[in-house]
Chains A and B, each alone.
Chain A
Amino acid sequence: MKQNYTITAIAENRPGVLYRIADLFLRRKVNIESLTVSEIEHAGQSRFTILVRAEPNLVEKIVKQLYRIIEITKVIDSLDESLIIKEIALIKITARNLERRREIEHLVHLANGKISAVNQSYLVIEKTGTETEIDSLHELLKPFGIREFVRSGRIVVFK
């Protein structure tokens, strides 16, 4: 059965590593649902957080094949239960009248988000949380007319 797997790979921070990782998923025809890359606690090392939906045995094979990439030092595949998962979303909404602004602010407050930018014509809402929390705020705000919606992809730490 297909499940959400978060594949965390630690690699030397060099050009070309992302290319090789992406190619492996391409060869196995697994779609990458989200991907984040950043430098980690050790200098010169990057952490790739890759979310896929796939069968467990396929994930096992991909993990082993990732180790073939010379620059990769560590690969861990995890199910959601064993992770603390966060993602950030930015939602831009047109809001010219005060009434609407109040309504939006109220919802954002309830959903534990915050208004990170504001001007006369729009609001930008920032929401950090799990994918589900972001999805539900997104749903709540849809009726107000969303102009832009962008999310970072998950980052995780192990429980």
Chain B
Amino acid sequence: MKIGVRKLKSKFMKMTGSQAVMESLLRENVKVIFGYPGGAIMPVYDALYDYMDRIKHVLVRHEQGAAHAAEGYGRITGEPGVCLATSGPGATNLVTGIADAMMDCVPMVCITGQVASHLVGSDAFQEADVIGITAPITKWNYQITDANEIPEVFAKAFHIARTGRPGPVLIDITKDAQFATFDFSYPKEVKIESYQPTTHPHPKQIELAAEFLNKSKRPYILAGHGVIIAKAEKDLIKLAEKGGIPVAQTLHGISIFPSAHPLYVGFLGMHGNYGSNFLSNKADVVLAVGMRFDDRVTGRLKDYLPEAKIIHIDIDPAELNKNVKAEIPIVADAKLAIQALEKAMKKNSHKEWVHEFRKCYKIEEKKVIENECSPKKGKIKMGEAIVKINELTRGEAIIVADVGQHQMMAARYTKYTKPNSFITSGGMGTMGFALPAAMGAKFAAPNREVICITGDGGVQMNIQELATLAQESLPVKIVILNNNYLGMVRQWQELFFKKRYSMTKMTNPDFVAVAKGFYLDAEKVEKRAELTSALKRMLKSKKPYLLDIKVEKEQNVFPMIATGASVEEVRLE
């Protein structure tokens, strides 16, 4: 009899909406959430008080920080990062992070409080139309006004966020639904009739693609974030090795291939490698996997890949033929498609073709890399600092880059040995992303070194999160490549706006003093001779640590494909 009752209890549990939120998070295996309390989410925070032993809540200092931290967490784990905010300003402060996650396909679940349902729509205190505001930047969103909906909506939200093309979802819960009591039972599985992403590639398309690759003289693989999301890095290496095909990576594809792999030829895009961009147009077959031919990658579209037959694999059908017409579009999960294609294709080798990339690299090395990474005199250069960090961490650290020149330097000059080791804001280019995202990444991978590479502009956009690092004693290492400019904008002003440096010069605070004010360890580096030892001290520290590195003020990132130029018009100086 007793057993019967217990059984019944485990199936249906009487609880409040707020408790149900906690129980739902547990069912979804959520371990860490990032948030900030406020009026309309207080019942949930009250419930959280009883769950603190099972769910770690990180108190950020601004909701934007919560969103980016959830992104960092989501990028590293592949599971939805969760953030929690109150109604009105709490929710609207999440918006930039949500848009960022949408662009970069980051799984994320945002939970926002909402005013009581009888007040919704009445311009109540701290009311914002969060569903309306976030509809264009979420994969899905939903407002819960009845506690009974909580289990189903949560199960659906997590399912949508993590499957198919991952993305952010938002659940808005009215305060009365948080208070209401109901019988809780969590759905075992989620089936949404209207949402069933295609994961298996069409066999006929795979056969055709294999034929294209077999016949190709100059095949070329463009690998993007989708490969990492599908955890298909090893499969792609196997495929490339079988076909002897050179591989380039998009910004979010960085670290799929170990940088030292003989078939890895560089990173694509405006400031990518010379050969990987320039030689795109010489390829006769292009296999694009989990990437979306962003304008930063293609350059002038009408002159992109003129000679190539294109095989495009993506899980989102809307990406196929969106920017570039593909002869063979394949809607599928990258892992399944790569495995099938690898089986279907013949062993091959294209030594001369791969060698062409090496020749280009030699040119780039001489014209750009040597100056950037091993200068003997003058101020410290950004590339040089990146190379030092890379050497000292043996390419094993997770690099979280902000947006700007330092981001491109981190993308260009870090040599990776492990997949999924580079996080940045690519699609949106959100300044202020790196510090909170690094925080999220560190919670996701506490045993890996996480280094936030940021600029003097970017770090000031979410600098309040230093307080979160201090509160959590979270050993994130922050490197500011400080040139007293909004460097990337200044570079454009130099090259395209006749050196009219409009509003790009910055009078900065003393970042060391700022960090110390937050009770963090910090030091300043101004001379080349101090660089290595300062980096060593930073890496040795078991606490958060900030390094303010003064770099050359007016340095440019090259190579560069100017907006509207073709990939063949890549500039080396």
Contacts and interface: CB of A to CB of B under 8 A. Distances in A.
A19 B318 contact: no
Contacts of B160: 70
A23 interface: yes
A68 B197 CA distance: 10
Interface stretch (A29-37, A57-65, A110-118): A57-65
A27 B321 contact: no
A71 to B, nearest CB: 5
B135 A64 contact: no
Interface in B195-238: 195
A74 to B, nearest CB: 9
Contacts of B141: 16
B135 A70 contact: no
A73 interface: yes
Nearest to B156: A70
A70 B136 contact: no
B518 interface: no
A72 interface: yes
A123 to B, nearest CB: 40
Contacts, number: 38
A67 B322 CA distance: 14
A60 B321 CA distance: 9
Contact of A20 (B135, B192, B195, B322): B135
A61 B131 contact: no
Interface in A66-103: 67-68, 70-73
Contacts of A73: 193-194
Contact of A67 (B132, B193, B318): B318
Interface in B10-27: none
Nearest to A62: B318
Band of interface residues on B: 10 to 19
A11 interface: yes
Give the contact-size bracket for chain A. Answer: 10 to 19
Interface core residue of A20, A65, A70 (most chain B CB under 10 Å) = A70
B454 to A, nearest CB: 31
A12 interface: yes
Nearest to A68: B318
Contacts of A20: 135-136
B194 A68 contact: no
B139 A70 contact: yes
Contacts of A61: 318, 321-322
Contacts of B501: none
B140 interface: yes
B89 interface: no
A125 B330 CA distance: 53
A61 B141 CA distance: 23
Nearest to A27: B136
Contact of B192 (A27, A64, A70): A70
B316 interface: yes
A72 to B, nearest CB: 6
> Which of A27, A71, A72 counts the most chain B CB atoms within 10 A?
A71
Interface string A1-33: 000000000011000100110010001000000
B170 to A, nearest CB: 11
Contacts of B193: 12, 73
Nearest to A24: B136
Contact of A23 (B131, B135, B194): B135
Contacts of B429: none
A40 B139 CA distance: 25
Contacts of B318: 61, 64-65, 67-68
Contacts of A27: 136
Contacts of A70: 139-140, 160, 192, 194-195
Interface string B297-323: 000000000000000000011101110
A22 B299 CA distance: 30
A16 B136 CA distance: 11
A90 B63 CA distance: 52
Contacts of A19: 132, 135
Nearest to A10: B194
Nearest to A14: B142
B194 A71 contact: yes
A27 B99 CA distance: 15
A72 B194 contact: yes
B107 to A, nearest CB: 14
A64 B322 contact: yes
Nearest to A61: B322
A21 B354 CA distance: 46
A12 B136 contact: no
Nearest to A26: B136
Nearest to B167: A68
B166 to A, nearest CB: 13
Interface in B369-406: none
B171 to A, nearest CB: 13
Interface string A113-148: 000000000000000000000000000000000000
A153 to B, nearest CB: 23
Nearest to A23: B136
Interface string B136-159: 100111100000000000000000
Contacts of A72: 194
A68 B316 contact: yes
A64 B317 contact: yes
Nearest to B165: A68
Contacts of A65: 318
A73 B196 CA distance: 9
Interface string B334-376: 0000000000000000000000000000000000000000000
Nearest to B192: A70
23 contacts: A16-B131, A16-B135, A16-B141, A16-B142, A19-B132, A20-B135, A20-B136, A60-B321, A64-B317, A64-B318, A64-B320, A65-B318, A67-B317, A67-B318, A68-B139, A68-B316, A70-B139, A70-B140, A70-B160, A70-B194, A70-B195, A71-B194, A73-B193
Interface of B: 131-132, 135-136, 139-142, 160, 192-195, 316-318, 320-322
Given A70-B194, A70-B195, 4 more contacts: A61-B321, A64-B320, A68-B318, A70-B140
Interface of A: 11-12, 16, 19-20, 23, 27, 60-61, 64-65, 67-68, 70-73
Q: Which 4 A-B pairs have the closest CB atoms?
A: A64-B318, A73-B194, A70-B140, A65-B318
